[in-house]
Structure formats: structure tokens, C-alpha cells
Amino acid sequence: MRSVSEVRLTPVICPFCGFGCKLYVRSIDGVPAGIEFYDKGGVNEGKLCPKGVAAVDFLRHPERLRKPLRRVGERGEGRFKEISWSEAIKEVATRLKEIKKVFGAESVGFLSSARCTNEENYLMQKLARLYGSGNIDHCARLCHSATVAGLIKCLGAGAQSSPFTDILKTRVILVWGYNPAETHPLLMRYVLKAKDLGAKLIVVDPRRTRTARFADIHLQIRPGTDIALANAMMNVIISNDLYDRDFIVRRTEGFEELKKLVMKYTPKYAEEVTGVTAALIDEAARTFASAGRGVIMWAMGLTQHTVGTYNVVALADLALLCGYVGREGCGVYPMRGQNNVQGACDMGALVEFLPGYRPAAAEEKRKEVAKLWGVDELPEPGLTVVEMVNEAGSGRIKAMYIMGENPVVSDPNTSHVIKALNNLEFLVVQDIFLTETAAYADIVLPAAAYAEKEGSLTSSERRVQWSFKAAEPPGEARPDWVILSSVARELGLKGFNYSSPEDILREINAVVPQYRGITPERLKSSPEGVFWPCPSEGHPGTMRLYEERFLTCNGKAKLVGVEHREPAEKPDREYPLILTTVRVVGQYHTLTMTGRSLSLVRRWPEPYVEVNPEDARRYGVSDGDEVYVVTRRGRYKCKVKVTSSIREGVVAIPWHWGANILTIDALDPTCKIPEYKVCACRIERVGGG
């Protein structure tokens, strides 16, 4: 008789953006077989975007890593042989011990991952710091490190202040450098519902995006001029007494200094800088300030600049000026691009922060965490992602341990990244596929994907949810927390004898104050999740921050005036155009997952460059032509998409297929985020011209 197959439906959290969608994976005898139905009560209300619908496609792809690998050829050739787990763990630990003994622990860099659970990110930063290295970072450095730095400066916490449901209660939505219709389609449903309820939509973007098409006001800004525009809007608001005077007096400080600074940023002056007409700036400012309740949303278009931190500060000032923080229907919404960027930051997978956002530069905070971990001291802050790569190139960084990150595609100036990785003495990559970065590794460790393990994840709105295990990993692949624990024990580090993700979360409850009441038992029995901060098990979780006080020393928000500064690289005769990078709805980051989904590749198969019709005429290119986009760092081949959606003098390329070979690695001096969104380029026809 044929045995009856076991069919299970398991709730998991979507592995893509930071919206926090819940879906159900159908598995047959432990093998993922599809998505059966969606939870109508989740934040996604039973809906998924194209990526979510295809979220099981890559789980059993033939290219999944199934056994540990050791490199046998030259770096980058992708030639490896399979080895046992015991060999792999021993070699990783032995090499890391040797390098520490000769060059010191600070010669090793660790990259954590926003695609891994809170528990796994917590373990990676703990491993790095107990090993003795302060070089611990992850991809938030490349997307929202400016948000963390800017919001902490003004509000005291670097996170979204209000739940997504508050969008439905607002009267005006200001979307700045962000295209939710492509990057967070389920959030866009909230925006459109709010519009149906009477809210106005203002969009600031150099492109007429799918989001901007729904806008009541579209400010088609010149890339790199965000501060000038924000200051001009504040100029209009203050000059016309449209600000919330009572809120400013009771709950903020620094107003007079801000007022003095923005007075010179008249709409007419801003028009010259930004390319947006003075009349439209005036209309946008009045619409925003007079609504009574407003939210501001932003993403990479605002943060990925050498002034990214100041850009965020300017938007925080704008929200505070109108009293749009700490109230129903109001808030600041920095939208996370990966499913656990927020959680990875909360866990301390950043150079400058220990778990719970304790400043890593403060000796008393390091001692506080060291005591919890049973050691005497922890290292001072080290290098960020881009700095680690730079120092690998110079020889200061000798080894790197990379979990779930793909810097060969995601970091700026790809050629420089490859040279740096080739210069390492030892590279470990822990991932689900042999990525472009893993091809340069000495040891590759096969990890379980999202549905093949369990643990907690934190969405953009600070909602912590438990994702359950729906299927078995392929071959000998293991959950990241299991691999990290094995490596740590082999290194001789104490405190890594965990038997489950629940064990790790209980330690997080003790170490991270914001998560104290978010226990495994509570999460598993809470389908809707729990918001942090949640200081005790009896606490309901805080959906809306700053209702009574800001998380600053005196409880007041700081209004901090910032000046407009030019981008690191401007157009010139040789490179007359501005290049900016964008995303598309059907592909995700470096294509590691979505690039292995046949349905998504068929619909979104290749990159393109958006060119304004006037620029197309000027440079002699037509729709569909193959061109090279060229910068001082490299050249990139793609097809032309002639469209009036992009402003004249600017071209845009989706970055998923490797466009970062073009981008500049200039950094924001405050948060060290690279300037992906502005660099000088030119267009050359393939074959000449």
C-alpha cells in the first residue's frame, strides 16, 4: 500500500521587504510545495506582492547549497569541493584563531544579515564581539543607517514611530525618495485607502514613479537637493505661521535656531537648487502643514547620500514643526527594504550599537553587556561594511565572515570590492546559494532558508512576529543559529550552548530592554505579533512612540537645522548626466532569491536605463537601443527605456542586476552610508557613438 503523505500549512513571515507580510507555506512530507492561502488578519490582509507569491520558488532550486565547500581553485573561479561539517567548522575556527594570534582580532570583519532572524543576528554580533572584534555590521549601513543616526539625533530612537494603521487616519502623506508601489506594494494599498478617505498625497522624487502617478502634488526634485527643498518648505510654514506653536513650545527645543537657518531658503532660492518651481514648493508646504494630521515616509532615495543623516534630520524637523509625531494619524515612517533590517539593528548588528541601541563607544555600556555575557570587557566600535572592504584592500583587514550578505553586488564600486576580497587571507561565506560573493570564499557554509527554520523577525513598524518552520533544509544545510553556535564553541567562546531559537530569544529578553516582554511563548501564541518597546511580559507593546515624551535626555525633541551640501560627484563635460539607482517590484536586491524564480525572471528579465526624451535625442539613442552607461568606476551594458517619467539630465537604473559597478563609494561622514543615488555618468551606444 502507498503511504499517506503528510501535508502541512505553516505560517511564516515573507522573506522579502520589511512590511511583515504573513503567508502560509504548504509542504508535503517536509518538502515545500507552494503557498496555499494567506492569513486574512495579517498586516497584509491576505494579499501578497509578486515576490511574495513566488516566495517558495527558490527553496528547492537545484543550485541550493547542500554541503560545506572548500575552495580548490583561484578566488572568483567558483571551483570548490565538498567537505564535512566537522572539517568546515574546524577549519573556520582554526584560521580565525591563527589570524587573531598574528594580527589581532581587529583584523577580522563580520557581516550579519537582515535576511536572518533576530536570534541569528544577535548571535553573529555576540560572536564577533566575544571574539574580540568591533568590526560588526550589516546591510542597514547601506540603506537606513542614516535614518538611525538622524532620528536618534532628533527624536531619541531610530525607528518607525507609528503603526501602518495610522496611515488610514491621516490627512496628508508626504512620500520622499520612496516608491512604495514598487518596493512595498502592500503598504501602497494603505496609501490608496487613505486617499480614498480624503488624504492628500505629496511625492518628492526625480522620477514620475508608479507612486507619483497617484500624487496630488509631485515635486520632481534634482537628485541630491533634498535639504534645500525641505528647508524651503519649512520657510513657508514658519513665515506663514502654519506650524504647531503649542507643540513646539511644549515638546521641542531649538526652534529659534532652526527658524533663523531656514529663512534664507526661500522657495525662489530652492527653485534654483532643486529644479522644482517656487509655486509648487509653496503649495506643497501649505498643503502639508494645514492638514492637521500627517505622516512622512522615506527610503533609499533620501538616505543614500553623503548627507543622508542630515536629509533625515530635515524631514524630522518638518514633522516636528507641524506636530506630526506622537499622535494618532501622524508619524515618521522610514520604510525598511528587507524583512529584518529593523530587528538586525535592534540586536546590535551595527558597529556603533550594542544590543538595544546601547552606544558601543560608551565604556559603561560595554561593561554592562559584558557582564550579562559573563566576560570582563568588549571591544570598542570598529569598521563599517564599506570601511571593512576598503581596509581589506589595503591589507588591514585579513579575514571576513559574511552571513547572508552579497557585497559583490550590493556594495558600491564593484570592481573595488572584488579586488578587496581577493586580497583577504581568509573569507567565510554562509548563505543559501553560491552567490557572487561566495565565489571568492575559502569556505562556504550552507544555510537553511527562511521557511526551513524558525525564529522571530521585526518589521518596519517594530512589530515582532514568530516565523515557524515549514520544511526541511536541503541536503546538510543548517539554520544560521546552529552554524554560528558551532563556530563559536570551536573558537572556545563561552555562552553558545543553545538548543533552540527560543533559548536565544530568552537571552535577548534579558539583554535587550525593548524586547524584555517579547518572550517565545508570547510570540508563538500572538498571531498579530508584539510591538517593541515591550518592557515586561504584562505590557501590551507600544504601537505608537512619543505620545508622552521623546526618548531624549530631557524628553523633548531636538529641532536641528541643517544646510544644503552638494553631492560628492557632480556632472561635468566628460560625464554630463546624473545617475541614480532604483528598484523594481518583481525583483529583490541582489537576485539571490528572486533571480531563481522562473515566473519573476520571465516578467522582469533584465536591466534597463531610463532616459528622458530630450536626453535621448541629445545623445542619439532610441527606445530599446543597447548602450553602455559609463562612470569613473566602470561601464554597464543595458537597454534604453525612453520615458518622460525621468527628469531631464538624470538617468535611472534598477540596481539588482549589478549596476553598482557604476556607483561611487563616497560616504556620509556621520553614518558611513554610501552615496548610491547620485553620481556623474555618460551614455555610449554599443558599437560606438
Supply the CATH number for residue 418's domain. 3.40.50.740
Q: Does the structure show a pLDDT above 90 at 689?
A: no
Residue 197's CB is within 10 A of a number of other CB atoms, namely: 12
Helix (H, G, I), strand (E, B) or coil at 546: coil
| Same domain (yes/no): 48, 101 | no
Q: Are 146 and 671 in contact (CB under 8 A)?
A: yes
| Same domain (yes/no): 153, 113 | no
The strand pairing partners of 202, in sequence order, are 174, 217
The whole domain housing 616 covers 577-685
| Same domain (yes/no): 287, 398 | no
Judge whether 632 lies within some domain: yes
| Same domain (yes/no): 373, 497 | yes
- Confidence (pLDDT) at 622: 96
Q: Are 481 and 449 in contact (CB under 8 A)?
A: no
| Same domain (yes/no): 158, 251 | yes
Span 505-510, average pLDDT: 98
How many Å apart are CA 262 and CA 29, to the nearest integer?
64
Judge whether 213 lies within some domain: yes
What are the distances in angstroms from CA 117 to CA 113, 346, 549? Answer: 8, 11, 30
* CB neighbour class for 408 (10 Å; exposed up to 12, middle 13-18, buried from 19): buried
Counted domains in the chain: 4
Helix (H, G, I), strand (E, B) or coil at 196: helix
| Same domain (yes/no): 42, 73 | no
Q: Are 384 and 400 in contact (CB under 8 A)?
A: no
Supply the CATH number for residue 304's domain. 3.40.228.10
Beta strands 577-582 and 679-685 are antiparallel
| Same domain (yes/no): 126, 149 | no
| Same domain (yes/no): 301, 173 | yes
Judge whether 201 lies within some domain: yes
What are the distances in angstroms from CA 536 to CA 236, 454, 508, 515, 588? Answer: 44, 23, 13, 8, 36
- Confidence (pLDDT) at 2: 52
What band does 604 get if pLDDT is binned at 50, 70 and 90? very high
Judge whether 644 lies within some domain: yes
- Confidence (pLDDT) at 7: 86
Judge whether 344 lies within some domain: no
Residue-wise burial string across 562-601, b where 16 or more C-beta atoms lie within 10 A, e elsewhere: bebeebbbebeeebebbbbbbbbbbbbbbbbbbbbbeebb
Span 324-328, average pLDDT: 97
What band does 75 get if pLDDT is binned at 50, 70 and 90? confident
| Same domain (yes/no): 444, 413 | yes
The strand pairing partners of 82, in sequence order, are 69
Q: Which of 294, 319, 334 finishes a domain?
A: 334
Q: Are 341 and 347 in contact (CB under 8 A)?
A: no
Long-range CB contacts (within 8 A, 24+) of 7-10: 7/33, 8/470, 9/36, 9/37, 10/451, 10/468, 10/469, 10/470, 10/471
Residue 171's CB is within 10 A of a number of other CB atoms, namely: 20
Q: Taking phi first (over 0 means left), then psi (-120 to 50 degrees means alpha), and beta for anything else, what does residue 672 get?
A: left
* CB neighbour class for 398 (10 Å; exposed up to 12, middle 13-18, buried from 19): buried
DSSP secondary structure of 354-365:
EGGGEETT-HHH
Judge whether 385 lies within some domain: yes
| Same domain (yes/no): 370, 509 | yes
Span 256-278, average pLDDT: 98
**Residue linked to cell 527628469:** 647
Among residues of the chain, what percentage have pLDDT more than 90?
Answer: 95
Q: Are 683 and 610 in contact (CB under 8 A)?
A: no
Supply the CATH number for residue 47's domain. 2.20.25.90
The strand pairing partners of 626, in sequence order, are 639
Q: Cα angle at 628 between 622 and 629, to 5 degrees?
A: 95
Supply the CATH number for residue 593's domain. 2.40.40.20
Q: Which of 334, 351, 376 finishes a domain?
A: 334
Q: Are 198 and 229 in contact (CB under 8 A)?
A: no
How many Å apart are CA 523 and CA 342, to the nearest integer?
17
How many Å apart are CA 364 and CA 376, to the nearest integer?
12
- Confidence (pLDDT) at 47: 92
- Confidence (pLDDT) at 39: 65
What band does 181 get if pLDDT is binned at 50, 70 and 90? very high
The DSSP H or E segment spanning 611 is strand 608-611
Length of the chain: 689
Question: Which residues, including other chains, have CB under 8 Å from residue 21's CB and lie 6 or more apart?
Answer: 13, 14, 42, 43, 44, 47, 48, 49, 52, 186
How many Å apart are CA 603 and CA 289, to the nearest integer?
41
| Same domain (yes/no): 159, 281 | yes
* CB neighbour class for 73 (10 Å; exposed up to 12, middle 13-18, buried from 19): exposed
What is the 3 state secondary structure string of 111-137?
Answer: ECCCCCCHHHHHHHHHHHHHHCCCCEE
How many Å apart are CA 553 and CA 533, to the nearest integer?
17
- Cα-atom radius of gyration of the chain, to the nearest Å? 24
**pLDDT one-digit tens code per residue, 440-474:** 999 999 999 999 999 999 999 999 999 999 999 99
DSSP single-letter state for residue 484: H
Question: Residue 332 phi/psi, 5° resolution?
Answer: -110, 135
The DSSP H or E segment spanning 387 is helix 385-394
CA count, 13 A, side-chain hemisphere, 109 = 29
- Confidence (pLDDT) at 1: 47
Sign, CA dihedral 580-205-178-252, equals: positive
| Same domain (yes/no): 105, 157 | no
Strand order in the sheet with 530-531: 455-458, 463-467, 530-531
The C-alpha cell at 454 is 524558525
Judge whether 556 lies within some domain: no
**pLDDT one-digit tens code per residue, 493-502:** 999 999 999 9
- Position 573, amino acid: R
Q: Are 14 and 339 in contact (CB under 8 A)?
A: yes
Helices vs. strands in the chain: H and E counts, helices first? 24, 28
Judge whether 191 lies within some domain: yes
Averaged pLDDT score across all residues of the chain: 96
Beta strands 108-111 and 136-137 are parallel
**pLDDT one-digit tens code per residue, 632-660:** 999 999 999 999 999 999 999 999 999 99
Q: Are 412 and 660 in contact (CB under 8 A)?
A: yes
Question: Which residues, including other chains, have CB under 8 Å from residue 184's CB and lie 6 or more apart?
Answer: 17, 18, 19, 335
Span 89-96, average pLDDT: 98
How many Å apart are CA 58 and CA 668, to the nearest integer?
35
How many Å apart are CA 640 and CA 21, to the nearest integer?
34
**pLDDT one-digit tens code per residue, 28-64:** 888 888 887 666 678 998 899 999 999 999 999 999 9
Q: Taking phi first (over 0 means left), then psi (-120 to 50 degrees means alpha), and beta for anything else, what does residue 510 get?
A: alpha
Among residues of the chain, what percentage have pLDDT more than 70?
Answer: 99
What are the distances in angstroms from CA 136 to CA 74, 92, 153, 253, 355? Answer: 27, 17, 22, 34, 12
